[in-house]
Amino acid sequence: MSTFSAVKQNIKAQAPMQADKRERITQPRCCWKCQKDKQTFGGKIVISPGLFMFVCKDCLDAKKAA
């Protein structure tokens, strides 16, 4: 008697996509303001049709201080 588990099969099928998503989230992005590669943590991401803007935490803090 075989033990078929749909949940285990779905987790195994989704593993490559989840790994790719994790890698894309952790890679640095180019900041829209300072044009340097920075981590996305603490920054602001704006996505609209045909446009992806990322502003880093340093630029956001500088704007608040000014």
What pLDDT does 65 receive?
93
Q: How many domains is the chain built from?
A: 1
Strand residues in 3-63 grouped as ranges (E): 29-30, 37-38, 44-48, 51-55
Q: Is 1 among the domain residues? A: no
Task: Report yes or no on whether pTM surpasses 0.75.
Answer: no
Q: Is 34 among the domain residues? A: yes
Range of the domain at 24: 6-65
Q: Could you report the per-residue pLDDT of 2-60, keeping only the tens digit for each?
A: 788 999 999 999 999 999 988 888 888 899 999 999 988 888 988 888 888 999 999 99
Residue (of 61, 59, 60, 63) closest to 36 by Cα position: 59
